[in-house]
Structure 1
Amino acid sequence: MIAGLDQSRIRALFPGIAVSILVAVTAQFLAEHYGAPAMLMALLLGLTLNFLAEPGTRTATGVAFSAKTVLRLGVALLGARISVQMLAELGGPMIALVIAGVIVTILFALLAARLFGRGWRLALLTGGSVAICGASAAMAIAAVLPRTDKSDRNLAFTVLSVTILSTVAMVIYPPLSTALGFNPLESAVFLGGTIHDVAQVVGAGFSISPEVGETATLVKLIRVSMLAPVVLIFSLAIRAGGLGDLEPGAKRPPLLPSFVVGFLALATLNSLGVIPPALSSLAEGASRWALLIAIAAVGINTSLVRMLDVGGTAIALIVAETVLLGTFIVAGVHLLG
């Protein structure tokens, strides 16, 4: 009977998962051939297929599974890229600057959200995504926030916004770093410490030089390593502060989500040298595909009309967070220089 239930569950999930994978593959194809960010393409394509997430459709269950479970798998696999040795290579002052940028941006998001009349959930979602690693952080943070009827809309808006802002920064920040007179190390810290998504950091850094590209990627991974502690702190704060004002029947997020445990476990194993470089690279690729499939599913799950209802103040909030982070890192690089 259990086997029968498993087969029944698989049959229910398969159509939606297959659609999410198809959208992700199409997005990757467009990214490779037209230079557009794959995450952005997956989200936009998914939004056009919102009818596939309507209650009663064969794909609805699998799409919801992809948007949640596959997402958590992708975030956990990010840990295979992080190691203590990687952090030590950059030096104490620069690491402190990058970590301070993450903290200041999130605190600013909470303050600015109050000024803009937005809720704390959107503040943590947008602030964390800008401060840490764009779409990946947004999806990880969304997984520990108490669910509301606006959760998918806010996540789709945040992913769309940080991806667009990250792409704009990839084009604008390299010439800006030259105009500011930064040396290669300073340019790398500026790019890696401010651009939201890893792919755009790589593109911006290597557009200046291989040296800047490699160091900028390292700086960015330091921000990625902040994902687990930040998600844990958010979860503890929500629990301790009684902020989880859940809807009737909604589930309280766990204190330490399993995907955070997986992230930390893989980072620890990588630091100990247990994970071979080839396996780490494989995990990185699997993580990228899992997150791409998940964001495609998030797009399918989200009504474009409802997402546009998020309002101009939300756009102003995430732009203000981006400007704040950029200004903070530029000031810090000048002081350290």
Structure 2
Amino acid sequence: MALSFSLFDKSGADVRAFLSSLAPGFFVSVLIAVSAAFLSDHYGVPAMLMALLLGIAFHFLAEEGRCVEGIAFTSRTVLRIGVGLLGARISVELLMGLGLDLIGLVVAGVILTILFGWFGAKLLGRGWRFALLTGGSVAICGASAAMAIAAVLPRNEQSERNLIFTVLAVTMLSTIAMVAYPLIAQAFDLDDLSSGVFLGGTIHDVAQVVGAGFSVSEQTGETATLVKLIRVAMLAPVVLVLSLGIRHFVENADPGTKRPPLVPFFVLCFLAFAAINSIGLIPAAVSNFMGDLSRWALLIAIAAVGMKTSLRTMFDVGGQAIVLIVAETAFIGAFILVGIKILGA
């Protein structure tokens, strides 16, 4: 009996030691995220962008000291928790309310943008990891998609730099689009419904979609948010397909590299929450709470990702990277706009 209690006490001590090693880095990430949210609420700047920039300013904390383990944990595990919780905002009934034609247009836009990014990266001499990261983030849901895709990509020495660049680029492009795209919709004489489809189908981040949509009209804002959720719903299947493809690629091309899991756990969580929400078992208040928790988890995680990256490395990304992500943004914008005109939405 004494031996059992001794083992239990030792196990408890190990757990406490583990948590205490993570706490400093985690709470620094939380503090940066709260500061970013404050700045966003009071000055209108995107919270993700502020969390990223503030995190980069505290890069020294991720190099050595008590915060290193907690920052690494937050940038990895808290990120996956945030992505998994996103599923609670998705339901089949919500998505089907838009109509099959427009759903097909949005889904095609996601797939073709990723393929465009793949071939564009080859033409510009960029690697396949960078192609999937930028293409997926532009096609699906900006910074959230970038972090989810980065979680299943095999890591190399450029992984953190590429993730930071992608998050920074899509956030800035989303902010520009929030202002410019309503003017484009007006120039093409789109009605409220079509404007909502255009804004929700092309702007990268959810917050900027909502801002752009409701700046036009209430119907446009509601439609834009709904269309954006269709793109968010594509996150799990896209990450799943990428994970399976990468698993096969890594196994055959580089046997010495650790293979990713067959199905990432956070993807299973996303799908499970979406399925439960689709059959009405998640009350609206709980769904909203889980959505808020997801946004906070992602904000905290991107603060940690920022701290792990040196600003010096951002200048090594190259002009081709900027050309690629701008071209992907232009491609999905043009594709959705042409599709709306063809469908007469």
Give TM class, smaller chain. over 0.9
User: Could you say if the C-alpha distance between residues 182 and 291 of structure 1 is closer, same or farther in structure 2, counting changes exceeding 3 Å?
Assistant: same
Q: Work out whether residues 251 and 259 of structure 2, in 8 Å CA contact, stay in contact via their aligned partners in 1.
A: no
Partner-residue secondary structure (3-state), 2:126? coil
- Identity percentage of aligned residues: 63
1:297 is aligned, of 263, 285, 304, to 304
1:264 is aligned, of 258, 271, 276, to 271
Shift of 1:307: 2.0
Q: Work out whether residues 52 and 168 of structure 2, in 8 Å CA contact, stay in contact via their aligned partners in 1.
A: yes
CA distance in 1, matches of 2:144, 2:271: 16
Tell me what 1:161 maps to.
Answer: 169
1:326 is aligned, of 299, 318, 333, to 333
CA distance in 2, matches of 1:235, 1:244: 14
CA distance in 1, matches of 2:50, 2:253: 34
Q: Given the alignment of the two structures, is residue 8 of structure 1 paired with residue 17 of structure 2, yes or no?
A: yes
Q: Given the alignment of the two structures, is residue 146 of structure 1 paired with residue 154 of structure 2, yes or no?
A: yes
CA distance in 2, matches of 1:247, 1:41: 40
Larger displacement relative to structure 2 (235-244 or 99-108): 235-244
Q: Work out whether residues 98 and 222 of structure 1, in 8 Å CA contact, stay in contact via their aligned partners in 2.
A: yes
Shift of 1:240: 2.2
Shift of 1:245: 5.9
Tell me what 1:61 maps to.
Answer: 69
Matches within 5 A, 1:31-180: 31-54=40-63, 56-180=64-188
CA distance in 2, matches of 1:244, 1:73: 30
Number of aligned residue pairs: give it.
335
Structure ID, larger Rg:
2
Structure 1 unaligned blocks of 5 or more: none
CA distance in 2, matches of 1:251, 1:80: 31
* TM-score, length basis structure 1: 0.98
CA distance in 1, matches of 2:225, 2:254: 38
Shift of 1:68: 0.3
Q: Given the alignment of the two structures, is residue 19 of structure 1 paired with residue 28 of structure 2, yes or no?
A: yes
Matches within 5 A, 1:135-284: 135-242=143-250, 251-284=258-291
Shift of 1:236: 1.2
Tell me what 1:311 maps to.
Answer: 318
Q: Work out whether residues 86 and 290 of structure 2, in 8 Å CA contact, stay in contact via their aligned partners in 1.
A: yes
Post-superposition Cα deviations, 1:231-276, rounded to whole Å, max 9, x if no partner, equal 011111112234786696x632212100000000000000010000
Q: Work out whether residues 59 and 306 of structure 2, in 8 Å CA contact, stay in contact via their aligned partners in 1.
A: yes
Letter in structure 1 aligned against 2:60: F
CA distance in 1, matches of 2:199, 2:47: 20
Q: Work out whether residues 64 and 297 of structure 1, in 8 Å CA contact, stay in contact via their aligned partners in 2.
A: yes
Structure 2 unaligned blocks of 5 or more: 1-9
Q: Work out whether residues 239 and 255 of structure 1, in 8 Å CA contact, stay in contact via their aligned partners in 2.
A: yes
Q: Work out whether residues 238 and 244 of structure 1, in 8 Å CA contact, stay in contact via their aligned partners in 2.
A: no
Superposed CA RMSD in Å reads 1.2
Shift of 1:308: 1.9
CA distance in 2, matches of 1:160, 1:246: 31
Letter in structure 2 aligned against 1:148: N
CA distance in 2, matches of 1:37, 1:151: 23
* TM-score, length basis structure 2: 0.95
CA distance in 1, matches of 2:258, 2:69: 18
Partner-residue secondary structure (3-state), 2:186? helix
Letter in structure 2 aligned against 1:276: P
Letter in structure 2 aligned against 1:281: N
CA distance in 2, matches of 1:10, 1:242: 33
CA distance in 2, matches of 1:24, 1:232: 28
CA distance in 1, matches of 2:44, 2:242: 35
